Amino acid sequence: METLADIGEDELIRRLVRGLKQDASVIAGPGDDCAVVKGSRDLLLLKTDTVVEGVHFTPDTPGRLVGRKAMARVISDFAAMAATPRHALITLIAPPQTAVKRVLEVYAGLRAMAESFGVNIVGGETSTGSQLILTVSMTGTAPNQKWVSRNRARAGDALYVTGRLGGSIRGRHLRFHPRMQEAHWISRHLPVHAMMDISDGLAKDLPRLAAASGLGFSVDLPSLPRSPGCTPEQAWGDGEDYELLLAISARTPRKQLAAWHTAFPKLPLTRIGTLVEKHAAPLATPGGWEHFR
């Protein structure tokens, strides 16, 4: 089997970027010291994210799904801001004995996901390392300087999540579809004060959202929308759902909320709790995913 050690860095990069699709905003893609893209009058958003073999996927995970996941995770963060991802840089770290075929499959997954969201891959970096690691760094824009942060929530705001939570490890963590369309709909149609994607699990991410606004929270555990076969504890603690968590005004008219179900008839939008003043007692259920611990 042909390995990275057989073909080396330059030939690898040639194969990776062959036929790469780029739109008219790209002035110089891979091959120079930096990529050059057209600036814009909108705000610029930046995000980087990494998937590591043994942590986010296994040596048995099909390459296409590894690439798909690496790209989708970052796109999901742009969705969480109701922003539009535009240009990506890919860092690939791999042992020299990695099969070239696997790396090409990983890239095929990255490229397919990028293309389906209008993202241009404009460059990257390759290096030797002891395990397969993919880092995707991305820029994007906020149309009309409008974006949804996670720190403008107010005490009394209602907490909602899209979709169903828990059990992502059974496969959805590799196949989820970033909630881009849904997030832009929410930004346009609901009085949303704060939003984020749930990547480390509600147990980790909800406290982060509340803390960013200087608030506490209360959650009704049994009310969590659960994936089939999951307990409320799994819906609360499991990571990698990549659903949206949002705080909206508690006075949002029912009619506005009902419009969601017309726009997205197959995807639930569920009220799970309330943001409260910081010193009100939060629901302290341990769980969620935190790196290093």
- Shorter beta-carbon distance to a copy of itself: residue 230 or 240: 240
Q: Select from 74-82, 155-163, 184-192, 252-260 the region that touches a copy of itself (CB under 8 A).
A: 74-82
Q: Which residues in 116-145 contact a copy of itself (CB under 8 A)?
A: 122-131, 133, 135, 137, 139-142
Residue 244 near residue 182, CB atoms below 8 Å: yes
Residue 236 is labelled as binding a ligand? no
Residues 188-247 that bind a copy of itself (CB under 8 A): 196-197, 208, 212
Work out whether strand 269-277 and strand 120-128 pair parallel, antiparallel, or are unpaired: unpaired
Say whether 197 counts as a known binding-site residue.
yes
- The dihedrals phi and psi of 282, each to the nearest 5 degrees, come to -80, 160
48 annotated to a ligand binding site: yes
> Is 10 assigned to a binding site?
no
42 binds a copy of itself per the rule CB under 8 A: yes
- CB of residue 261 to a copy of itself, shortest distance in Å: 25
- Confirm whether residue 25 is marked as ligand binding: no
Would you tell me how many other CB atoms lie within 10 Å of the CB of residue 7?
Answer: 15
CA within 13 Å, CB half, 278: 7
214/147 Cα distance (integer angstroms): 20
Would you count residue 151 as binding a copy of itself (CB under 8 A)? yes
Among candidate residues 83, 222, 209, 226, the one with its CA nearest the CA of residue 158: 209
The pairs formed by 1-5 with CB atoms below 8 angstroms and a separation of 24 or more are 1/99, 1/101, 2/99, 2/100, 2/101, 3/96, 3/97, 3/98, 3/99, 3/100, 4/94, 4/95, 4/96, 4/97, 4/98, 4/100, 4/103, 5/96, 5/97
Q: Kindly state whether residue 153 participates in binding a copy of itself, applying the rule CB under 8 A.
A: no
Q: Does 87 bind a copy of itself (CB under 8 A)?
A: yes
Check binding of 59 to a copy of itself (CB under 8 A): no
The count of chain residues that interact with a copy of itself, using the rule CB under 8 A, is 74
- Of 48, 181, 223, 256, the residue at the interface with a copy of itself (CB under 8 A) is 48
Could you tell me which of 109, 113, 129, 104 has the C-alpha nearest to residue 17? 104
Answer yes or no: is 240 a known binding residue.
Answer: yes
Binds a copy of itself (CB under 8 A): choice among 17, 72, 80, 106: 80
CA angle at 176 for the pair 113 and 257, rounded to the nearest 5°: 115
Tokens 């929270």, located at residue? 217
Structure token pair of residue 115: 């293309």
Q: Is 49 annotated as a binding residue?
A: yes
Q: Which tokens sit at 71? A: 């790209």
Of residues 26 and 230, the one with the C-beta less far from a copy of itself = 26
Q: Nearest approach, Cβ of 222 to a copy of itself (angstroms)?
A: 27
When the beta carbons of 142 and 275 are compared against a copy of itself, the nearer one is 142
Annotated binding site for substrate: 56, 240, 289
Annotated binding site for Mg(2+): 33, 48-49, 77, 197, 200
Annotated binding site for ATP: 107, 150, 199
